[in-house]
Amino acid sequence: MIKSDYGHLDCPFYEQKLKNGLKVLFIPMKDRGESAMVYLSQGGYLHDEKIESSKIPFGTAYYLAHMVMDDSFQRSLLQKGAIGRCESDLSYTSFQVTCKKDVFTPLSMLLDRLYNMDFSEEALESMKDALSPKNDGLSLARKNLLLNLYSSSPIRLGVVPDREQAVPIHVTALRKYLQRYYVPNRVTLILCGDYTPNECMAKIEKLRLPKDIVTFNKELCFDENYESPVKDYASTKATDGDYLVYGIKFKPREKLYEQFGQLMFFSYEIFKECLFTENADFLSGLRNADSDLLDVSFHEGGEDGYLLLSIKTKSPVAVLSFLTEYLERIEKHVDRRLFDDILSEYYAKGIALLRNPRTCVSSFSRAYANNLPYTSLLSLTAKTNYRSFKSFLKEVGTFVRSAYYLKKA
């Protein structure tokens, strides 16, 4: 295995690519428990119009992940002293098992489950009923905002389908999706535990690893407009209302990377705090508009990315006026002291995450979506300067924006 120690953070890790294309990322850690993850470099962002001859419905990735890690399987893991969890993001899908020792036992159980693909229609329909999101006002406002912001990109759908969107998802779609994407060259095993690299690889060789099954697809093609939104603003009424959702539509990932390089990825880590949740100018501006910030979220999928501000307000005109003014001079609202404080806090939290096997593996997986080791991302705190970060913010201030207001009826 090849050893790396980005940033000299006392968290060396080892990497190896197997002959079948499957990648292994191993982080040795003594006496703190063990954790392992099957990481798939494909999430809920749609890349295929068809797999084989079948159209794959939106939400297939989400339901496949939860069918794999259903309640019965989680109970089986608990009987072996392990906790299981899954995550289906726009960019990746992951299955994680954590225990005090011998993580290869629950990991073997997980791989066997992926390999067997034993799903029933009855279980899938039950899962749909259990996982269908509630159509509360804030969720409705966010969905409509994305439809205002994007004309054709699959990112406008999000990850989780509503009950009506889930109707065409059947077991055959789950299996075709699994056969196309749960293959060695798309899978990474991320492990953390008390092993030597040689011990880790010897145990991996005994696992029942996924097979390379050849499938065919028709790529999903679309032409997104990055110069303007579908609508600048829209509103409607609902019994659960008085929510303003504001969206910033980022330029395609490739263009931003050409312009800013790795600074782009690190800026994504801290700009929510710098601009919104920890920024006195922003928070006081909302208070002056008699409004409250509910949430700030950033999402990436394929080449696309967007930021959402969810705000509770009865004064949408005042909020929109403030946001327009704030974003036109966005880089002026982050001073060096705030920047340095947030950098220090981010670094301290990151070091703490690396000391626990479960959070260490989760952190590596989150960064892996951008082809970066988490320790490399964390070490950028020492390389990112204030002036460069402000240049990135200035660019963000030019991005396309849209708003949706849900007024209480």
Question: 195-209 burial, b for 16+ CB within 10 Å, e for fewer?
Answer: bebeebbebbeebeb
For the chain, how many structural domains are there in total? 2
Same domain? 135 vs 194: yes
Residues 58 and 150 in one domain: yes
**Token duo for residue 267:** 């800026």
pLDDT (tens place) for every residue of the chain, 409 residues total:
888 876 568 889 999 999 999 999 999 999 899 999 999 989 999 888 889 888 989 999 999 999 999 999 999 999 999 999 999 999 999 999 999 999 999 999 999 998 887 889 999 999 999 998 888 899 999 999 999 999 999 999 999 999 999 999 999 999 999 989 999 999 999 999 999 999 999 999 999 888 888 888 898 888 999 999 999 999 999 998 899 999 999 999 999 999 999 899 999 999 999 999 999 999 999 999 999 999 999 999 999 999 999 999 999 999 999 999 999 999 999 999 999 999 999 999 999 999 999 999 999 999 988 888 899 889 888 888 999 999 999 999 999 999 999 999 8
Residue 50 contacts residue 106 (beta carbons within 8 Å): no
For residues 213 and 242, state if they share a domain: no
What distance in Å separates the CA atoms of residue 161 and residue 132, rounded to the nearest whole number? 7
Amino acid at 300: E
Range of the domain at 289: 233-408
Asked if the structure places residue 32 within a domain, the reply is yes
Residue 224 is assigned to a structural domain of this protein:
no
End residue of a domain, out of 219, 241, 276: 219
Establish if 106 belongs to a structural domain. yes
- Could you tell me the pTM of the whole model? 0.91
DSSP classification of residue 399: S
**Which of 219, 251, 286 marks a domain boundary?**
219
Query: Is residue 207 domain-shared with residue 337, that is, in the same domain?
Result: no
Report the C-alpha gap between 34 and 97 in whole angstroms: 9
Output phi, psi for 210, to 5 deg: -65, 150
- Tell me, yes or no, whether 225 lies in a domain: no
Question: Which residue spans within 212-365 are E strands per DSSP?
Answer: 217-219, 233-238, 243-249, 292-301, 304-312
3-state helix, strand, coil in the chain (%, to 5): 45, 20, 30
Judgement on whether residues 267 and 205 belong to the same structural domain of the protein: no
